[in-house]
Amino acid sequence: HPPPVATDKEEQKRLLENRPDQPRNPKVLRIAIIGAPNAGKSTLSNQLLGRKVFPVSKKVHTTRCKAQGVITHEDTQLIILDTPGLTNPLKAKRHHLDEAMLTDPWDSMKRADLVVVLVDVSDHWTRNSLSKEVLKCLSQFPHIPSVLVLNKVDVLKKKFLLLEIATDLTEGIVNGKKLEVKSALKQDSRSSVKPPFHITQASPPESKVPGSSFGQEKNQAQEGSGLDKSSDVGAAGTGEAQVPKHHEPEDLKDAKGWPHFQEIFMLAALRGEEVDTLKRYLLMQAKPGPWEFHSDVLTSQSPQEVCDNIVREKVLEYLPLEVPYGVTQVTEIWEEGECGELLIMQRLLVPRESHKRMLIGRGGKVISRIAREAGQDLMNAFLCDVRLKLKVEVK
């Protein structure tokens, strides 16, 4: 079970400053999850962590701070560098975003050992090509291994579209080998999920190993559609995959995909489907190296930051359009109650009287719903009873 976030600021600070409890042969992997705003990066991070510590909302730019998540499993530590959605200066101005929102993803990339590129396949406007910002990011750091994760596949009614999407986003090449498509309608009857296809990789000509089904063992074992190469492809005698060369901006002008991904995964992060497949893969990619955090650390955020983010997430969820971006939060009370519960009181300051009415809602319905839902999420993060009170005022 993942550790809870400490409720006391000093205790969390002490945990973060604690020397890591290094195992005998520690392994570590720093993972940058990048993608367009709202692709589901924070949802995926929370699912991998096993606790909700990053805010999630349908509105763009919910994640505004540079926060890390820490997964400690046996002798391995995965550090998730949860990055804001890659955006451009024009959009940043529209949403009153800090300068940091434009630079943070790049900082995360510099520290990453592996890049996870997340694409929301439910968005038919954007799903067939990687955004220019993502392509720019990948081309600036071509030496860092990357994997493609197709998210929200459960929303896609026509599963054959996944093939088109996967081919477009990889330019038909994964791990240096061409993707081939074979129909697999006569699939193993033990599997309850029957995707209408498999992606197989063509073996290099000098290899005698037959092209193997990308998803076959996985589908039989886990009844999912996480695309992953099975072991005999790895043994195909191709040697190390070549490191892609640095791409110039003009090379990317007409590019839609990235032909240097090492793997493709398909999942539904919100429902947690196939997230374990991805997690196991990430654990296997870890390299020998010292842990950065004590095993009791789940996130680098302070308890107050976790609270602010989760309350803000609900405000974003229930207020229309640009209104929530003008709300300021002030924590007035943060203390332990008589029965060990955590008491939190926050003032939400809004610029206009009309915004105040919206946020309170008729009969106080909106604000009490926000307090109730945020309180439940905070209980999940802190693993203790939480009593959250919210007051709305015009600043």
pLDDT digits 0-9 by tens, 290-332: 999 999 999 999 999 999 999 999 998 888 876 777 889 999 9
Higher pLDDT, 100 or 386: 386
What pLDDT sits at residue 40?
85
Q: Across the strands, what pairs with 118?
A: 35, 149
Position 102 pLDDT exceeds 80:
no
d(CA 73, CA 65): 26
Higher pLDDT, 387 or 155: 387
d(CA 22, CA 75): 8
Considering only 222-231, 298-307, 342-351, which range has the smallest mean pLDDT? 222-231
SS3 label, residue 176: coil
* Contact partners, residue 14, CB within 8 Å, separation at least 6: none
pLDDT digits 0-9 by tens, 57-98: 776 655 555 679 999 999 999 999 856 555 445 554 554 444
Over range 221-231, report the average pLDDT.
Answer: 36
CATH architecture of 9-182+252-288: 3-Layer(aba) Sandwich (3.40)
d(CA 104, CA 85): 10
Predicted TM-score of the model (pTM): 0.79
Q: How many CB atoms sit inside 10 A of residue 331's CB? A: 13
Phi then psi for residue 377, to 5 deg, are: -65, -35
Position 234 pLDDT exceeds 70:
no
**Of all residues in the chain, what percent are helix, strand and coil, respectively (each to 5)?**
35, 20, 45
Say what percent of the chain tops pLDDT 70. 72
Position 356 pLDDT exceeds 80:
yes
The mean pLDDT value of the chain amounts to: 79
Over range 243-250, report the average pLDDT.
Answer: 56
Over range 209-217, report the average pLDDT.
Answer: 33
pLDDT digits 0-9 by tens, 161-179: 898 999 999 999 999 998 8
Residue that the structure tokens 């076959």 belong to:
216
What pLDDT sits at residue 384?
95
What pLDDT sits at residue 220?
31
Phi then psi for residue 32, to 5 deg, are: -100, 125
Over range 34-50, report the average pLDDT.
Answer: 87
Higher pLDDT, 373 or 83: 373
Pairing of strands 328-336, 67-73: unpaired
Say what percent of the chain tops pLDDT 90. 50
What pLDDT sits at residue 84?
56
- The conformation of residue 188, written as its DSSP 8-state character, comes to -
Higher pLDDT, 324 or 394: 394
Q: What is the location of CATH 3.30.300.20 in the chain?
A: 303-394
What pLDDT sits at residue 244?
60
CATH architecture of 303-394: 2-Layer Sandwich (3.30)
- Among left, alpha and beta (phi > 0; psi -120 to 50; other), residue 9 is alpha
Which residue, 116, 167, 121, 120, is CA-closest to 138?
116
Position 136 pLDDT exceeds 80:
yes
Q: What is the location of CATH 3.40.50.300 in the chain?
A: 9-182+252-288
Considering only 70-84, 191-205, 357-371, 381-395, which range has the smallest mean pLDDT? 191-205
Over range 377-381, report the average pLDDT.
Answer: 96
- The conformation of residue 118, written as its DSSP 8-state character, comes to E
